[in-house]
Amino acid sequence: MVVTGASRGIGAATARLAGERGYAVCVNYVQNEDAANSVVGAITEKGGRAIAVPADVASEAEVMRLFESADRELGPLTALVNNAGILETGMRLDEMEGGRFNRVFATNITGSFLCAREAVRRMSTRRGGKGGAIVNLSSIAACLGGPNEYIDYAASKGAIDTMTIGLAKEVADEGIRVNAVRPGLIYTDIHASGGFPDRVDKLKDTGVPMKRGGYPEEVARAILWLLSDEASYTTGSFIDVAGGR
């Protein structure tokens, strides 16, 4: 399994759970090598196999190197979790500068497309592969729009929803299932990147029917279910892990 953006948050929780369930895991990261190595250590301490590989998913060359490293060190790919994503400081659209769109879309959209492409090239029975599964990380923001905060981020996740549906149909008869998870207000470090480290606690009582924030492990369990044989007849589908939002 390749998990992008796996040094923290949902990606790290997914990588750890995947290791517990028998996957050999490629833990992708961009900058925080220590955090990525900590995830690898948590997997190997329990008898699993894992490697940490630095790569910016917005770069085609680095994505190709990421998958080549996983091939070489872990063997044939059977699962991809397209988790890497960024957001920038929360603000209205009319306050945003153009470079921001390029950065957010390059990681959140182009990065997911590049990684999915490399996964399909390896897993498709049409190309000699043995099949597999892809789970894309969308967001409940794709449904809500992210007004006054992250319209660009929400739009990027809307693109992931569309890609999930289209790719699922494209490779459905090639042994590959493609699904997505839409997390809601989850306790992760990404909120600090947007300038609101306490965002979950501020919004949980008014914005979440369950009146609490979610945890990365709760999202990871949905991801692992979609990757598992228990979801063998599920493709082009979405699981909202958002407390009822």
Q: Which residues pair with 69 in a beta bridge?
A: none
Considering only CA atoms, give the Rg of the chain: 17
d(CA 203, CA 185): 8
d(CA 202, CA 99): 29
Query: What letter represents residue 217's amino acid?
Result: E
The full DSSP string for 125-175 is: GGGT---EEEEEE--THHHH--TTT-HHHHHHHHHHHHHHHHHHHHSGGGT
Query: What letter represents residue 7's amino acid?
Result: S
Cβ–Cβ contacts within 10 Å for residue 201, how many? 13
> In whole angstroms, how far apart are CA 107 and each of 85, 232, 241?
6, 29, 22
d(CA 123, CA 133): 8
Single out the catalytic residue among 23, 29, 150, 153: 153
Cβ atoms of residues 142 and 15 within 8 Å: no
Nearest to 230 by CA among 133, 161, 91: 133
Clarify whether 153 is annotated catalytic.
yes
- For the annotated catalytic residues, the residue numbers are 153
